[in-house]
Amino acid sequence: MNIKQTIQTVAYRGIYSLTYVISLLPMSFLYALASLTFYLTYYVVGYRKAVVIQNVVRSFPDKRYGEIRAIVKKFYACFVSYFAEIIKGISAPADVLDKKIVLENLELIDGYINDGRNVIACLGHCGNWEMLNFMPYKMHHDIYAIYKPLRSGTMNRLMIKLRSRFGLKLIPDNAVIRHVITKNLNPAVYLFLADQCPRIKDEKYRFTLLNQETYMFSGMEKLARKGQTAVVYLNITQLSKGSYRIVCVPICSKAESTDDGEITKKYIDLLTENIREEPYGWLWTHKRWKR
């Protein structure tokens, strides 16, 4: 092990140990810290506040100023609470988390897997999407999350550690195609966050999302069709503070039988419905329409 690797290992162990100790604190205390962070983020620093307001206003042109302000304020309050919940999830017992995360219609995925098909489960940055790390605890199938490796080796290692506590397996985005195509003998579930802004514009994947012309990732649909997978949408909403419902909604059972753009269009429709159902839950700080 060279000096750089040694430093990264020491840093990783130190950060993880500190985070784990913090996670042992009562949830009420972590939420109190989140409330303080909300005050600093919303009122003092105003972290990306202009971006959030602009995104919400353009997405809901029919809403009045008071409604927009309420959505923005609640978004920031929920956003900082998500971090408190993620930290608590590092050490919280499985039976405690099981009471806070309701997964519905999982039999839909079971059916596709039993038919020998891989399943692409696409979702948006709605609610506390990190709670999906708990999904392997509720299912008997391999579940993989597609991710983009972080530049920092220390933080990348920490992210993998935190997300894999209950058996979630992470696959770098540049390796997923080969993995899905060669996984047919042992079908699995692949989680895709597909609502970010793509680097490369594809005119065939330009749609309307929240009243705005939007380019979408084409990779998720192309992979589904090439890998002949089933596709579902995971609708995430908040039942109460710290408790979430995740519902599996069918998009298609045989991706290879769909028309070009059909899967993405259905995904956008379901994502839009999810956001309208709970407008404060989406990740509004993301510069979704910067291109």
* Amino acid found at 131: M
254-279 confidence digits (pLDDT tens):
999 999 999 999 999 999 999 999 99
What are the residues whose beta carbons fall under 8 Å from the beta carbon of 51, sequence distance 6 or more?
Answer: 284, 285, 287
pLDDT range class, residue 291, cuts 50, 70, 90 = low
Q: Are 250 and 108 in contact (CB under 8 A)?
A: yes
pLDDT of 14 > 90? The answer is: yes
- pLDDT, mean over the chain: 93
pLDDT of 174 > 90? The answer is: no
pLDDT range class, residue 122, cuts 50, 70, 90 = very high
Q: How is the chain split into domains, by residue range?
A: 3-281
Tell whether pTM > 0.95. no
User: Residues 164, 169, 170, CA angle at the centre, nearest 5°?
Assistant: 100
48-86 confidence digits (pLDDT tens):
999 999 999 999 999 999 999 999 999 999 999 999 999
pLDDT of 36 > 80? The answer is: yes
Of 201 and 116, the structure prediction assigns the larger pLDDT to: 116
The bridge status of strand 189-193 relative to strand 143-147 is parallel
pLDDT range class, residue 135, cuts 50, 70, 90 = very high
190-215 confidence digits (pLDDT tens):
999 999 888 777 888 899 999 999 99
